[in-house]
Amino acid sequence: MSDKSPIDIDGTAKSTDYSFNIIPKEVKKINTKYRKIITKIPSESTVKTLELLRKHEPHSMNVELPIVWENAEGFQIFDGGGNCWIDFSSGTFVANVGHANENVCKAINGMVEQKLLHNYYFPSAIRAKLVKKLSEMIPSYLNKIFLLTTGAESTETTIKLARIFGRKKDPKKIGIISFVGSMQGKTLGALMVGGKTKEKHWIVNLDPDMHHLPFPDSDSGAEFFHESMKNLELSGVDLKSIAAFMVESFQGWGALFYPKEYIQELRKWANENDVIVIFDEVQAGFGRTGKLFAFEHYDVEPDLVCCGKGISSSLPLSAVLGKKELIDVEPSLNSTHGGNPICCAATLASLQVLESENLIQESYRKGKILENELTKIKAKYPKMIDIHGKGLLFAIHIKNTNSNQRDPLLTDKILERCMEKGVMMLRTGLGTLKIGPPLIIPDDALIEGILTISEAIDECINENNGNKEI
């Protein structure tokens, strides 16, 4: 593992304009146990779909790898041309128990056959079963569950709850502290509390009571926390106005975790100053990092927790978990599609699979395999590559050896080469290869995928040897 986290983590001026080509390209044919590439990539049969999407959708919806998903099952993705990829994205960390898990599909179909597709937030038996199951899995001090639809919706809700909490203490106690580089969602409040500056240009009137501390490197502990808080105070912020910390349990784009001592000091300060701590687990929760929640790595207790993505392994459902005294405060806490019966059925089935197949423990075990294989890649390129992560959540940071900064262009070329070789990953645009396969992936498929990434890295670096920037 790398000793230091990257310095340039706010996501500004680091993305690349590299465009993935939708013109079919002749590539090496592949037919292994888990991968199959038998056509040009992208498949000629899918080009019309790609063209329609590029014509009618915003550019932002067409920056990922140009593979048209025909279906996805388990840990594999299939297009309409007969090609098959190992999925290292989990559909961006949603399909924790696998794509189209048999039990999840059965639960969805059962609710459709029951003819209950929507019931606003009127009561339903399936919603009651889900919140009961969740309450049995999560820490007992999180004794209220509020079901929603998206991760950003859960973030917005905790902002609201934090300020209701703070204003009961003091009308001026509305400040929320997050971290440079953090991602809390794409709605207005979530963007403002998040720490990615380039995404806020259109807001103009930023909330002056949302503040951002520098993200700590791996050596930073209690002293750095207090130094950062002191600097915040010196900038003119009254620390008595702080109502909450919002902590993304790891920074998603780079799989960067906080030092444990740092978070424990943050929790201690919050206790001493009547401040609540919110953990954003939308990307991190439900086994992804080898624990049910990533905040468990820090041995602290949150007051509110944002959940989403992997909670259902399929359909849109999110949740805020929290203490009764923080959640039972506002009659407007409801949502048109929150607790949708089909989404609840899928989520309940997913949680049952997570437990019955010991997938949290499997994530921890497989994470050690993943780390071992990634360490071999780092050993080949010690000046170019850092690795970060836990469980089945890792990121390979690829650097330019001259500048010692991440290299988004080379990383995108490696990502594209992986696609051509039968491994699918998310594009971050920030010089990282983000790895997060479904937790059900077999050991040999996991290793095959990493060896494929290693091949792609070797090829792309060799092809760029004449470039002095590499």
Is 462 inside any structural domain? no
Is 155 inside any structural domain? yes
| pLDDT of 467 | 47
Q: Are 267 and 304 members of one domain? A: yes
Q: Are 56 and 133 members of one domain? A: no
Beta bridge partners of 177: 211, 245
Q: Are 319 and 259 members of one domain? A: yes
Strands 242-248 and 144-148: unpaired
| CATH value at residue 75 | 3.90.1150.10
Is 207 inside any structural domain? yes
Q: Which of 204, 395, 205, 206 is nearest to 195 (CA)?
A: 206
Q: Are 82 and 147 members of one domain? A: no
Average pLDDT, whole number, for the chain?
Answer: 94
Is 124 inside any structural domain? yes
361 within 8 A of 355, measured Cβ to Cβ: no
Distance CA(440)–CA(442), nearest Å, equals 6
Residue 20: CB atoms within 10 A of its CB come to 17
Is 378 inside any structural domain? no
Q: Are 260 and 341 members of one domain? A: yes
Q: Are 268 and 345 members of one domain? A: yes
Using CB atoms within 10 Å of the CB of residue 206, give its burial: 0 to 12 exposed, 13 to 18 middle, 19+ buried: exposed
| CATH value at residue 226 | 3.40.640.10
Q: Are 275 and 174 members of one domain? A: yes
Q: Which domain holds residue 174?
A: 102-356
User: CA 187 from chain center: how many Å?
Assistant: 16
| pLDDT of 466 | 56
Is 153 inside any structural domain? yes
Mutual angle of helices 125-137 and 341-356, in 10-degree steps: 30
Q: Are 166 and 203 members of one domain? A: yes
| pLDDT of 347 | 98
Give pLDDT < 70 ranges for the chain.
Answer: 1-16, 466-470
Q: How many domains does the chain have?
A: 2
Q: Are 214 and 327 members of one domain? A: yes
| pLDDT of 214 | 97
Which pTM value belongs to this model? 0.94
Q: Are 434 and 308 members of one domain? A: no
Is 138 inside any structural domain? yes
Q: Are 163 and 71 members of one domain? A: no
Distance CA(49)–CA(54), nearest Å, equals 9
Q: Are 330 and 244 members of one domain? A: yes
* Sign of CA pseudo-dihedral 378, 382, 387, 391: positive
Is 403 inside any structural domain? yes
| pLDDT of 218 | 87
Residues in Cβ contact with 341 at an 8 Å cutoff, skipping those fewer than 6 apart: 111, 116, 117, 118, 119, 124, 126, 127
| pLDDT of 16 | 64
